[in-house]
Structure 1
Amino acid sequence: MAKRPSIGRADCAPGPARVALMLAGMVFLLLPLVALAASLPALTGRVVDTAGVIDAASEAALVQKLEAFEKKSSDQIVVTTIPSLEGEAIEPYANKLFRAWGLGQAGEDNGILLIVAPNDRRMRIEVGYGLEGTLTDLHSKLIIENTMVPAFRAGDYAGGITRAVDDIILVLEGNAAELEARARRNQDTGVTGDDIAVVLFITVWALLFFGGFAFAILPRIFGRKLGPGRYEWLGRTFRYNNGSRSSGRGWSSGSSSGWSDGSSGGGFSGGGGSSGGGGSSGSW
C-alpha cells in the first residue's frame, strides 16, 4: 500500500491571503463595538449639552453652581443631554457613560450623572457607589417625577435641569427631609396646572350659561315688580318684552388668572469614580 504523504507544519500555515481575510473578519466583528464607543460624547465640562436644549445663560449658571459645590464637598455632579439614545435603554447607557467619564473621586465614587435624551423623552440620575446611601433611588425618583417631568412637559428643559440640580445638592447637603416633605405636599394636593385650567374653563361656561338662564327667570319670581315687564332684584332693574330680557344696567363677568414660574469650563475631567447602576430613570 502506498504511503500517504505527510503534511508538515509549514504546509498548514495560512497564506497571506488567508491572514488578510481573517484580519478583515476581526475588524468587521469589532466595528459595532467601535461605533458604540464613538457614540459616547466627550467630557468637555460640567455641562455637556450635545442636544442644545440649555440656553447659554442657564448653562453658565449651572457650571458655576456645580463647580462651587464640588469645591465645597468634593462631590462631582455632571449634566449631559444627548439628542437620542438610538434605541438603547437609558440605564446601561448612563452607567457606561458614567464609567467612561470616571465621575467622582477614585475610591470615593462620589459622582452623579444627570442625563436627558429629549428625542426619546427619557431622563436618568445615575449615582456613584459612594453616594447611594445619601442620594437614594427614592430621592432620585422624587426629583425626576416632581421637578423634571412637569418642567419638561412645559418645554422648560433648562429650568427643569437647573431645579433638579438644586434638589440633588439639597439632598447631598443633608436636607433630604425637605425634598420628601415637598413630595408629600404634591401628593396630598394632587392639583396641577392642567387641573386649574379645566376648573376655570368649566366655571366660566357655567356662569355664562346658567347665569343667563337665572337672570331670565329668577327676577320675575323673587324680584319686586315695578311695572309692566319691569322687575327689581338684587339692586338691579330688569325689563322683559315678549319673553326677552333686557336690563338698564349691564352685567358682565370677567376672570383673569396668571401663572409664572421662574426658577463651560475647560480642563475638566472625572476623578476615576464608578457607579453600579444606582439611581432612577423617568420619562415625560
Structure 2
Amino acid sequence: MFIFRAFFVLLVLNIFSTTKVFAENFSVPKFTSSVVDKANFLPPFTQDKLRAIFSILQKQGIAQLAFLSVNSLNGESLEEASIRVVDQWKLGDKEKDNGILLFFTKKERKVRIEVGQGLEGVLTDAKSSQIIRQVIVPLMKQGKTNEATLYGLYAIVESISNKNIAKQLFGNSFSSHKKLRKKKKSSFLFVIFLLFFLMGGRGGFFSLFLISQLGGRSSGFGGGGFGGGGFGGGGGGGFSGGGASGSW
C-alpha cells in the first residue's frame, strides 16, 4: 500500500512538473506575414520593404524568407524553437526545400539563421556563421537592430542568388556595408511605385528593378508604405538543423 501511494504521488508530481514546463515553453507566434516583429526591432517602413523583397524572392523561386523577433524563448533553446517555427509556419517550397528564417530573441540576445535543406549547399553552416559573426553581431552590440537585420539579410540573399540581384533589391551601398543613408524620393519614383502595383507585383525580374528604385538607391529603405506583395506559405520545406546561431 505504501509503495502504491508513493508511486501515485510521484506520478502526480511528474504530471504537474511536465505541465509547468509546457506552460513556460516558447509559444510560436502566428504566421501573419513574412515579417513578424514581436520584439519591435524594425520600423514599419523596413518591415514593408522586407515583405516586398521576400515576395519577389519567393515568386522567382529563389527562396522563401521570413523574419521573426521575439521577446523571450522562456527557457527553450534557440535551435529547438527555430525548428518549431519553420515547421509550424510551413516555410519553404515542398519540392525545393528553400525556406530561410532569420530569428532574433531579445532577452537571450541571440540570433539564428535557419536554412532549408535545399539551400544548405549555398548558404552553408560556415557561411551562416560568418554572416552572424561578422555582419549581424557587431551591429547588434551597438544596438543597431535595424541595420543588423538589413545587412544580414543582404548577405543572405547574396549567398543564395548573386550580387546583382542583392544589389537590385537592397541597393548598391549594401555591398560595401557602408552606413545607411537617406535620400529624398522624386516624382519619378512615385510613378514607378504606381506601376509596380498596377502590375499586381508581377513582371519577373523587372520587379527587381522597381523594388530597387523604391528604396535600393538609398541604402536606408527610407520610406515607401507598401504591403507584403502577396507573400504566401510555400507548403512546408524540409529542415534538418542547417544554419548557425550566435549571440551579442
Task: Note whether the superposition's TM-score is higher than 0.5.
Answer: yes
1:64 matches 2:47: no
User: Aligned AA for 1:93?
Assistant: A
Deviation at 1:270, TM superposition (A): 4.0
1:45 matches 2:41: no
Identity of aligned residues (%): 34
Equivalents in 1 of 2:107, 2:17: separation in Å? Answer: 29
Deviation at 1:119, TM superposition (A): 1.6
- Between the two proteins, the alignment pairs up a number of residues equal to 179
Match of 2:138 in 1: 150
Deviation at 1:86, TM superposition (A): 1.3
Q: Classify 1:260/1:99 alpha carbon distance in 2 versus 1 (closer, same or farther; 3 Å).
A: closer
Deviation at 1:273, TM superposition (A): 1.1
1:117 to 80, 100, 105: 105
Equivalents in 1 of 2:247, 2:25: separation in Å? Answer: 25
1:126 matches 2:114: yes
Q: CA RMSD in A?
A: 2.7
Residue pair 1:112, 1:125 contacting (<8 A) in 2 also: yes
Q: Classify 1:118/1:169 alpha carbon distance in 2 versus 1 (closer, same or farther; 3 Å).
A: same
Q: Classify 1:87/1:25 alpha carbon distance in 2 versus 1 (closer, same or farther; 3 Å).
A: closer
Equivalents in 1 of 2:13, 2:179: separation in Å? Answer: 60
Q: Classify 1:60/1:30 alpha carbon distance in 2 versus 1 (closer, same or farther; 3 Å).
A: same
Q: Classify 1:32/1:150 alpha carbon distance in 2 versus 1 (closer, same or farther; 3 Å).
A: same
Unaligned runs of 5+ in 1: 1-23, 179-258
1:167 matches 2:155: yes
Cα displacement string for residues 88-133 of structure 1 (whole angstroms, at most 9, x for unaligned residues): 2111111121111111011321100100002211000000111111
Match of 1:219 in 2: none
1:278 to 231, 242, 245: 242
Residue pair 1:98, 1:274 contacting (<8 A) in 2 also: no
Residue pair 2:101, 2:113 contacting (<8 A) in 1 also: yes
Deviation at 1:53, TM superposition (A): 1.4
Name the SS of the counterpart of 2:100 in structure 1: strand
Equivalents in 2 of 1:156, 1:279: separation in Å? Answer: 23
Name the SS of the counterpart of 2:240 in structure 1: coil
Deviation at 1:52, TM superposition (A): 1.1
Q: Classify 1:122/1:168 alpha carbon distance in 2 versus 1 (closer, same or farther; 3 Å).
A: same
Does 136-145 or 100-109 show the bigger shift? Answer: 100-109
Q: Which has the larger radius of gyration?
A: 1
Cα displacement string for residues 219-278 of structure 1 (whole angstroms, at most 9, x for unaligned residues): xxxxxxxxxxxxxxxxxxxxxxxxxxxxxxxxxxxxxxxx95444537733421121000
Match of 2:207 in 1: none
Equivalents in 1 of 2:17, 2:116: separation in Å? Answer: 32
Unaligned runs of 5+ in 2: 1-11, 167-177, 182-218, 220-226
User: Aligned AA for 1:134?
Assistant: V
2:85 to 88, 91, 97: 97
Residue pair 1:111, 1:128 contacting (<8 A) in 2 also: yes
Equivalents in 1 of 2:24, 2:157: separation in Å? Answer: 32
Cα displacement string for residues 8-45 of structure 1 (whole angstroms, at most 9, x for unaligned residues): xxxxxxxxxxxxxxxx9998687458647871101111
